[in-house]
Chain A
Amino acid sequence: MSVDADAGSAESGLSDEVLLTVRNLRKYFPVTEGMMIKRTVAEVKAVDGVSFEVHRGETLGLVGESGCGKSTTGRCILRLDPPSSGEILFGGVDMANLSRAELNKMRERIQVIFQDPYSSLNPRMKVGDIIGEPMKVHGLLPDADKRRERVAELLHVCGLNPAMADRYPHEMSGGQRQRVGIARALALQPEFIICDEAVSALDVSIQAQVINLLEDLREQFNLTYLFIAHDLSVVRHLCHRVAVMYLGKIVELAPADQVFDNPLHPYTQALLAAVPVPDPEIESARAHQTVKGEVPSPINPPSGCVFHPRCPKAVDGCSMSVPELRELEPGHWVACSEA
C-alpha cells in the first residue's frame, strides 16, 4: 500500500490522481580525498530512503531544519542532481530513463521557484527576456510579439507592472524579483512547481503577499506544489499535507492539521514546541521541552532510528532497528516504534 493512502483526498476533496511518486530516494554525496586521483573516503547521506506521493492539485509541505535533505530532495526531483538510487515517477513516467530531449520536454511540466530572489535571476538579462526565454526555447511561442504580450500577461498575473519587462533584476526589490521568479516558473504552463524555500528570504510583510499569490495561482492554474520550507506557520497556512524530515529521512507524514494539532513523532513534537507563542506572558510561563544535543553528521548517522540520541522517548531498541513509516491513524504516517 502506498504511503499517502486516502488522507489527502478525504481531507480536502482533492483528486485521487497521483502526479508525483518518490520511492526510496537516496542521494549520497561522496567525500573525496586526493588531488588527481580521487578516492571516496565517506558519503554524506543527504537523502536516505525518502518515499512520498503528491496528488494533483495538492500542496505537500516538506519541512525540517537546515541540512535535513529537503532541498536536495527537490533538486533530485528536478534532476538538477542525479539521485544515487530510488525512483521518481512523474505522471507515471520514470524520470531516470528519460533521454535529454525527453527530460527537457518533461521540464515544461515541472518547474521550480528558488529561495533567493537575488541570485535566482540572471543579472544580465532583462525581466522580459528572463520570462520570455523559456517559451522561446521550448517553441511555445516562436513569435516575438506574441511572446511579449504573454510576458506582459504573466507579469500582470504575478502582480507586477508589465512595463517592468524592460528592467533589469537589480532595479527591483526582493519581493518584485520573487514575483519575476514565479512568472518565469509559470511561463511553461507547468502542472507541478517545487517551491524551494520560496518565501524564506523575503520580509514577513512581503512573504504574506507572495504566499497569497501562490495560493491564487494554485487555484487559477490548477497547480500542484511541493512546498519546501522551514517556517511552520507558512506551511500550515498553505499545505494540505506535511512531511517532516530529519537527517535525510521522513519521520512523519500527515494532513497538515493533524501534524500541527496531533504530532505523533517525538521530533515533530519538539519542532512544534520550539515555535514561540506570540504572547510574552504565555511564552514565559510555558514549560520548554528542548531537544538536547546537535543534529548528528549525515556522514555517519546514528544506527537504528536516526533521532534516538536526542529523543526524549528513546528506549533501548531504538538504536537497533530502523523504524518504518507506519500508518497510525488514517493518512497519518509516523516512523517511530514508540509512538
Chain B
Amino acid sequence: MTVTTENLGSPDIEALPERDSLIVRCWNLVRRQPLGAAGLLFIAIMTVMAFGAEVLTSINPEEQMFEHMLEAPSWEFLLGTDNFGRDIWTRIIYGARTAMLVGFFAAFFGSVIGLMLGVGSAYFGGKIDLIFQRVMDIFLAFPSIIMALAVVSVLGTGLQNVIIAIMLPMIPQCARVVRSSALSIREIPYVDAARALGYSHGRIILRHMSPNVMAPFLIMFTSFVGQAILAEASLSYLGLGVQEPIPAWGLMLQGGAEEYAESAPWAAVFPGLAITFAVFAFNLFGDAVRDVLDPKLRSR
C-alpha cells in the first residue's frame, strides 16, 4: 500500500496561530494565580536556601558558641541563638536542606507509587480492584503519624528511614484519590482506542491513563511535600526523626526552645514560622499548578 500525498478535498488546511512566549506565560501565571506565584516564590527561596546554605551563611550550624547562648536577634546573629549558642538563622537555612530532602523524596515516592497502584487498580477493575482497595483501607485506618512512628520504631531513626516512614502512609491516600479519577477515565473512548490499537497494559496505564489524572496527582504531590515537611518536623520533635546535631526545623522546636520559650521566644518562633510557611507555600502552589496544567482550563 502506498500513500499518495494527494490532499483529499478539505478546507481544514490553514495557517496556525502563534503561541505565547515563555515570559508572557510566566506573567500570566502571576496575574491569574497570585497566591500560587507567592507559594512558588517561597518554594524557590527554600530551594536556594537548601542548595546554597554554605554561601548564605558563614557560620557552622553545629558550632556551639557558649559565649553567645540565647542571644536575642542582632546584626551578628540575625534571628538570635539557641541555648547551645548555635545561630538560628544558620540552622534554619541548613534545616531547609533537611526539610526539602525529606519532603521531596517522601512525597515523590509516596505519590508515584500511589499513582501506579491507583491507576492500575482502576484499569484492571473487578476482583483485583476489590482486594486492592480493602488492603488500602487497612493502611488508611492508621493515623499517618502513628504509622510513621511504628515504622521508625521498627526500622530505627535516620534520614532514610524517616523518608520511608513518611512515604508509606501517603501511598494509600494517593492511590485512593487517583483511583477515583482513573475509574472515570477508564470509560473514556481514548482508553478503548488504546486497547483497540493493541497497546500493552503498562503502556495504557503509564502513557494514556496516568497523564490524565495529573491534576489530582499534582495537588496530592505538592500537598504531600508540605505534609512530609510537617511530618518530618513532628517526628524530629518527638525525637524519632532526624537526630541532633543535624539541623532540622522540628528539632529546633524541641528541648531548649521549649524550656526557654518565655525568655527567648525567637528560638521557637522562627523555626515554627519556617515550617508554617513551607507547608502553606506548597499547598498554595499545588492549587495553582492544578489550574494551570489542566489543558481545559489553560486557555481561559
Contacts and interface: CB of A to CB of B under 8 A. Distances in A.
Nearest to A191: B1
Interface in A122-155: 122-125, 133-134, 137-138, 150, 153-154
B300 to A, nearest CB: 12
Interface of B is mostly: loop
Given A104-B198, A138-B198, A220-B4, A159 B10 contact: yes
A148 B285 CA distance: 37
Contacts of B299: 170
Interface stretch (A111-119, A267-275, A285-293): A111-119
Nearest to B193: A120
Given A124-B214, A138-B198, A170 B208 contact: no
B196 A189 contact: no
Nearest to A188: B197
B22 interface: no
Contacts of B200: 137
A39 interface: no
Interface string B1-41: 10111111111111010000000000000000000000000
Interface residues of B, number: 36
A78 interface: yes
Nearest to A212: B9
Contact of B12 (A121, A123, A175): A175
Interface string B199-237: 110010001100110100000000000000000000000
A258 B283 CA distance: 66
Given A111-B196, A153-B5, A119 B10 contact: no
A159 B8 contact: yes
Given A122-B190, A124-B211, A168-B295, A160 B196 contact: no
A230 interface: no
Contacts of B295: 123-124, 168, 170
B8 A137 contact: no
B245 to A, nearest CB: 46
A168 B130 CA distance: 35
Nearest to A217: B8
A137 B199 contact: yes
A139 B211 CA distance: 23
Q: Which 4 A-B pairs have the closest CB atoms?
A: A159-B10, A104-B198, A107-B198, A124-B211
